Amino acid sequence: MYFKFINTKNENLSRYLEGFYIFQKDDTDQELQYTVFSSNHIILSIYRFADYAQEQDKVIIQENRDRPFLSLLTTTVETPLCCTYKGAVREMTFCFKPLGFNHFLDQDLRHYFQKGCIPFSPFPDFEKEMISILEEGDEKIVQERVEHYWASKFKVKEFDLLEKNYRPHTA
């Protein structure tokens, strides 16, 4: 199993995208489970050769060689969400800051709000580009390509009042 979180280097982009992580689970690894707790981040996960099933507070991600690409958006986690991985899974997850993902979408984020995970393909070139990035082995190149891609999708939007009054929740 492999896991690495990569912080966004691009200063402009880092205002909106916290970073991303790369996760790789081999099929020889045992089934893996973890729990996701509520957060104000918007999470976009992409997978190579995987499928998912969702039931209330449980999500199963499993190897599926017949499905070359899967993209899931998680906007709201109200109760703990149990995630289970089965088989070989390669995942990349983008962690957008509150309000940040709005700057990359044509419609407001509220249009996409739904409990749990939803299939998501925001742009015509998204699947092709993300598959190519998922297949790249050099993490330096991955970071450059990820940041270039999201920077190319950036749209200036005015959220001054919300951004000025936003206070992150601290425990």
Would the pTM of this model clear 0.95, i.e. be above it? Answer: no
| pLDDT, tens only, 55-104 | 888 889 999 999 999 999 888 777 888 899 999 999 999 999 878 888 88
Q: How far apart are CA 57 and CA 61, in angstroms?
A: 13
- Cβ–Cβ under 8 Å, residues 17 and 100: yes
> Both tokens of residue 138?
């050099």
Nearby residues of 89 by Cβ (< 8 Å), 6 or more positions away: 23, 24, 25, 47, 50, 61, 62, 63
- Cβ–Cβ under 8 Å, residues 130 and 85: no
| pLDDT, tens only, 34-52 | 888 877 888 899 999 999 9
Q: What pLDDT is stored for residue 162 in this prediction?
A: 47
- How many other CB atoms are there within 10 angstroms of residue 136's CB atom? 14
Q: How far apart are CA 33 and CA 24, in angstroms?
A: 14
Mean pLDDT of 6-12: 95
* Residue 105 burial (C-beta neighbours within 10 Å; 0-12, 13-18, 19+): middle
> Both tokens of residue 115?
């409990």
Nearby residues of 79 by Cβ (< 8 Å), 6 or more positions away: 38, 57
Statement: residue 105 has pLDDT above 90:
no
Q: How far apart are CA 133 and CA 57, in angstroms?
A: 30
